[in-house]
Amino acid sequence: NAGVMQNPRHLVRRRGQEARLRCSPMKGHSHVYWYRQLPEEGLKFMVYLQKENIIDESGMPKERFSAEFPKEGPSILRIQQVVRGDSAAYFCASRSGTVNNEQFFGPGTRLTVL
Amino acid sequence: AQSVTQLGSHVSVSEGALVLLRCNYSSSVPPYLFWYVQYPNQGLQLLLKYTSAATLVKGINGFEAEFKKSETSFHLTKPSAHMSDAAEYFCAVSDQNRRNEKLTFGTGTRLTIIP
């Protein structure tokens, strides 16, 4: 059973470009979380999605950031018009629908904005 | 709102010595508590979790943690450190009364093992 997959693992963008980060949850998992880890800091919650629904986006910046989890395919975290402050590691986690079940983390996407 | 404080951003112990990583939490409702380990350039791996059952929780790789409500603590211990334990460790809390179960993390403790 493959774990949580994220791609790309490393992404370099210039200021003003768009970044698209993909997350494929573990098989059978319908709940996806995105977290951001800034250098020398812990992970910060961004958004929680279930298939075709955003459940909690209280950690998402109000502008330029969006997320989706379509019925088919991976979850996408999209950052428009990236700035240097967006440079960070972005982690996706998934879990099954069972209450209080463990979140399994992917290896992360390290975004560098030049 | 929930929060987690990890005392000591860097901890060094000798190989074979006791490992103690500190975590204190703040929560207005009964919490679920977690310890995760992160190796360089990798994702997080769950070491152990407390979900209101036994207060002493045993995890993988010989680690354990004890939930102490009176001290609002959930410190991580291992009797004898191994070189392979060198990593970053994160304590996290989630609200068991909320359906979204999002995690709030501490800022992490980097553990170094001295040969």
Structure tokens at A66: 């969006």
Q: Which residue would you say has higher pLDDT here, B83 or A99?
A: B83
Out of B46, B102, B108, the one facing A102 most closely (by C-beta) is: B46
B101 touches chain A (CB under 8 A): yes
Q: How confident is the model at residue B94 (pLDDT cuts 50, 70, 90)?
A: confident
B17 touches chain A (CB under 8 A): no
Report CA torsion sign: A47, B96, B4, B109.
Answer: negative
CB–CB contact A103 B108 (8 Å): no
> By percentage, how much of chain B surpasses pLDDT 90?
73
Looking at residue B101, its pLDDT comes to 79
3-class state of residue A84 by DSSP: helix
Looking at residue A100, its pLDDT comes to 62
What is the average pLDDT score of chain A?
A: 92
What is the average per-residue pLDDT within B31-48?
Answer: 90
Q: How confident is the model at residue B95 (pLDDT cuts 50, 70, 90)?
A: confident
Q: What is the 3-state secondary structure (H, E, C) of chain B?
A: CCEEECCCCEEEEECCCCEEECCEEECCCCEEEEEEEECCCCCEEEEEEECCCCCEEECHHHCEEEEEHHHCEEEEEECCCCHHHCEEEEEEEEECCCCCCCCEECCCEEEEEEC
A39 touches chain B (CB under 8 A): no
Within 13 Å, how many C-alpha atoms sit on residue A29's CB side? 28
Looking at residue B98, its pLDDT comes to 65
* Number of other CB atoms surrounding residue A46 within 10 Å: 22
Nearest to B76 by CA among B84, B64, B68, B93: B64
Neighboring chain A residues of B104 at a CB cutoff of 8 Å? 45
What letter would DSSP give residue A13?
E
For residues B91 and B34, the answer to whether their CB atoms sit within 8 Å is yes
* Number of other CB atoms surrounding residue A2 within 10 Å: 7
Q: How confident is the model at residue A37 (pLDDT cuts 50, 70, 90)?
A: very high
* Whether the predicted pLDDT of B29 surpasses 90: no
Interatomic CA distance for residues B76 and B92, integer angstroms: 12
> By percentage, how much of chain A surpasses pLDDT 70?
96
Looking at residue A102, its pLDDT comes to 82
Looking at residue B12, its pLDDT comes to 97
Looking at residue A96, its pLDDT comes to 85
* Number of other CB atoms surrounding residue B114 within 10 Å: 12
Q: How confident is the model at residue B96 (pLDDT cuts 50, 70, 90)?
A: low
Select from B10, B41, B91, B103 the residue whose CB has the most chain A CBs within 10 Å, as the one to mutate to test that interface: B103
Instruction: Give the tens place of pLDDT for each residue, B61-80.
Output: 999 999 999 999 999 999 99
Q: Which residue would you say has higher pLDDT here, B51 or B109?
A: B109
Neighboring chain B residues of A106 at a CB cutoff of 8 Å? 43
* Whether the predicted pLDDT of A1 surpasses 60: no
